[in-house]
Amino acid sequence: MTLMLALGLINHVFIIPALLQIAKRDAWFSVLLSAVPFALVVCLIRYTSSRIGTQPLPEWIRHRLGRIPAFGFQWAMTAFFFATAWFSLYDTVMWMKVTFPDPIFPDFLRRQASPVCCRDGAGAFDHLNLL
């Protein structure tokens, strides 16, 4: 979810204005192009969730494919969540540098506040038990 937020902010600020400036009235076509991969991902998620049922995904992979693929899946998910945390921290620090210039908000306070914000935000997803 955090990665989607970071990507959404980047798209909103950087990509969409450039796309609208170049494409002008044909920018709606990019929405149609993005609908196809989105529909494929939704179908894949629906198919997978119907096959799994209520069993946790890593456990289902372990029963179906073995311990090594389950470990690989868990490692990949861990790497994904660490990358998500890194992007979120980077975007937060960049936002703080732009919003709070040095004379108003000292650098050491920025360094202290950013990890706390990310840690508190990550704690909201503890109940999901993804890994």
pLDDT tier at 130 (50, 70, 90 boundaries)? very low
pLDDT tens-digit readout, 51-99 = 888 888 889 889 989 999 999 999 999 998 888 878 777 877 777 777 7
The token pair at 85 is 């945390």
Q: Which residues contact 19 (CB under 8 A, 6 or more apart)?
A: 27, 30
**Mean pLDDT for the chain overall:** 75
List pLDDT tens digits, range 66-76: 999 999 999 99
Distances from the Cα of 22 to the Cαs of 16, 26, 119, in angstroms? 10, 9, 39
Q: To 5 degrees, how large is the angle CA 53–CA 82–CA 73?
A: 40
